[in-house]
Structure 1
Amino acid sequence: MARDILFVQGAGEGTHDHWDDKLAESLRQELGAAYPVHYPRMPDEGDPKYAAWKGALLSAFDGLDDGAILVGHSVGGTILLHVLAESALPRAFGGLFLIAPPFIGEGGWPDDDIGACDDLADRLPRGIPIYLYRGTADDVVPAAHTDLYMKALPHAVICTLEGRDHQLNNDMREVARDVRAVTGRSEEPTGD
């Protein structure tokens, strides 16, 4: 049985077509046909607004099956996390995988559009596995943000990847490995 993956892009002009498309494709290649990767274009990627992205995410959730896996990069991961924390969800998700998400709140980045991350752990769906990935060569989101997430999400698995940049060098192999582990499929992809 296939397991849906929703990959949420980061912010910035041209990100969907020229940056995060490489992450989505790497995830497709690493996971194979048993994991269809949905990669919607988020509204106004150059100047993201929480309400617009939240609406787009809630619409995208409607097309997923129960147990779908959610993956978000950078600002897209932060917004995805907040949407999960504050919305009545249409289904249960099988895991949340965040790649280089900025922390919003004290010690992190200010944002009038997104609330602080302080009580996220209490507001997220119970039992959802959470993984957070950070490259040591990330020059966009400071390492201190990972420390803040460790406090806000004490049950999250934190994965620090040596020498990897904000885009994880466009290599999603560790994310795919962890998705397979969470879904109980340890086998490698058999191709498309």
Structure 2
Amino acid sequence: MTRQKMKRKAEETQWRGGWLRWAHACPSPNCEARPALACIDLIVVHSISLPPGEYGGDAVAALFLNRLDWDAHPYYAQIRGLRVSSHFFITRAGKVWQFVDIHQRAWHAGVSSYRGRARCNDDSVGIELEGLEGQPFEAAQYATLQRLCDALRRVLPIRYVAGHEHIAPGRKADPGAAFDWMRLSGHLAGSGLMLPPLTQHTR
């Protein structure tokens, strides 16, 4: 077997269908089939923490699984009944959870538009970082995000990476100004992936 074939086989074995083998799988009911012929060419980076600014709990997973106790914190009254999901969630320690098969449509983008196309849920993969807009992210999260981007682009026609703030400007502001786009850009250099304009100058 040639070195190239060995590399391709190693990349393919990272996946079991649309599920990443090295992620903790926790299937969410908040998903559906993508439109026929959808070209999944966009990664959307988000940030989330529940309650906002509190880390390490299971509230984010509970939200994506429709199991959040709405009375457990005053903030939850603002999002009571919300049904959302993301394909992936990266904890502060760099652990990755997967909630939706990458070939399915997760509910992470909402009203959105990017690279000349609306309804970004149709043809994107959503990655949530445990964090809060304006607060720095951890080195372990960047390392996992980079590894995840690499794994995704091996099995999907990924061409773009953007933040929620870029696909829904004025409505969303995550991952926020503290996210180090230059760090991600440096890792992806030579990959052909396109980041939002000027993000390399945001830090």
**Fold agreement, TM-score > 0.5:** no
Greater helix percent: which structure? 1
Greater strand percent: which structure? 2
TM-score, scaled relative to structure 1: 0.31
TM-score, scaled relative to structure 2: 0.30
